[in-house]
Amino acid sequence: MAKGEETRQFIIEKAAPIFNTKGIAATSMSDIMEATKLSKGSMYVHFENKDVLACAAVEHNMKILSEKLQRALIQYKTSKEQLFAYIDFLVILTILQ
């Protein structure tokens, strides 16, 4: 992975939990700059604006969620078992929020 891509990924990984906690509207680029210890210029090299970063963070979160779901389902052989595992996964996800 190139350095620029590593920095972009680092920003996404630091920003995602902030967006999750504060919400997109309440999160400022300053919040993310504080978490990453990067300058405003560095942030805007990788992301045109906060909305672009928020979209990348959502994609990151969806990828993580999908991977967790796949790990939960892979251990079951039948469709019925996988369906119940999927429902259990969603119930647990809902409870944790």
Q: Two tokens at 63? A: 């990828």
Per residue in 24-71, pLDDT tens? 999 999 999 999 999 999 999 999 999 999 999 999 999 999 999 999
Q: Look at residue 1 and tell me whether its pLDDT is greater than 80.
A: no
- How far is the CA of 29 from the CAs of 7, 13, 53, 57, 94, in angstroms? 16, 14, 9, 13, 29
CATH code, domain carrying 62: 1.10.357.10
Non-local (6+) Cβ contacts of 13 within 8 A are 60
What mean pLDDT value characterizes the chain? 94
What Cα–Cα distance (Å) separates residue 50 from each residue in 71, 73, 76, 94?
Answer: 31, 34, 40, 27
Cα–Cα–Cα angle for 2, 32, 19, rounded to 5 degrees: 105
pTM of the model: 0.82
Domain count, the chain: 1
Asked if 8 and 59 count as a contact pair (C-beta separation under 8 A), the reply is no
Model confidence band, residue 95 (pLDDT cutoffs 50, 70, 90): confident
Average pLDDT over residues 82-93: 92
- Give the domain extent around 82: 3-96
What does the pLDDT read at residue 96?
A: 76
